[in-house]
Amino acid sequence: MGKKKVTSTDIARAAGVSQSTVSMVLNKKYNVSFSKETIEKVEHAAEELGYVPQKRKPRREGRKEKLLVVFCSNLTNPYYVMLLQGIESSAKEQGFGLFVCNTQRDLKMEERYLKMMWGLKPLGIIYTCNPSRCFMGLVEELSREIPVAIINNQNEKLDVDAVELDNSKLGRIMASHLLELGHRKVAYIAPPLTTRQKQRSKRVEGFLKEFAEAGLRDNVIIKAAKEEIDSDIAHIDSEYKIGYELTRELLSETRDITAIVGLNDMIAFGILDALHEAKLKVPGDISVMGCDNTLFARMHKVALTTIEHFVIFKGRDACDIIMKKIMSRNMKYSDIEPISTYHVEYEPKLIVRGTTSYPRQSGKKRTSKK
Structural contact between residues 21 and 12, judged by C-beta atoms closer than 8 angstroms? yes
pLDDT the model gives residue 32: 58
DSSP state at residue 287:
E
Low-confidence ranges of the chain (pLDDT < 50): 1, 30, 61-62, 334, 363-370
For the chain, which domains are there?
8-49 (no CATH), 67-165+311-345 (3.40.50.2300), 167-309+351-363 (3.40.50.2300)
Structural contact between residues 365 and 357, judged by C-beta atoms closer than 8 angstroms? no
Distance CA 50, CA 45 (A): 8
Structural contact between residues 150 and 130, judged by C-beta atoms closer than 8 angstroms? yes
pLDDT the model gives residue 154: 55
pLDDT the model gives residue 184: 96
pTM of the entire predicted model: 0.73
Instruction: Kindly give the pairing relationship between strand 306-308 and strand 349-351.
Output: antiparallel
Burial of 370 (0-12, 13-18, 19+ CB in 10 A): exposed
Question: In 10 A of CB 354, how many CB atoms?
Answer: 14
- Residue 205 vs residues 47, 76, 108, 263: alpha-carbon distances, Å: 83, 25, 29, 11
Burial of 287 (0-12, 13-18, 19+ CB in 10 A): buried
pLDDT the model gives residue 45: 87
Helix (H, G, I), strand (E, B) or coil at 121: coil
pLDDT the model gives residue 238: 84
Q: Express each pLDDT in 293-323 by its tens digit.
A: 988 887 767 899 999 999 999 999 999 999 9
Q: Express each pLDDT in 54-89 by its tens digit.
A: 665 555 544 567 899 999 988 888 889 999 999 999
pLDDT the model gives residue 127: 93
- Residue 3 vs residues 11, 50, 51: alpha-carbon distances, Å: 16, 11, 12
Query: Cα angle vertex 171, ends 137, 169, to 5°?
Result: 65
Nearest to 260 by CA among 238, 233, 278: 278
DSSP state at residue 73:
S
Distance CA 151, CA 83 (A): 9
pLDDT the model gives residue 218: 96
pLDDT the model gives residue 8: 83
Backbone angles phi, psi at 124, to 5 degrees: -170, 155
pLDDT the model gives residue 233: 55
Residue type, 255: R
Nearest to 350 by CA among 200, 180, 150: 180
pLDDT the model gives residue 265: 94
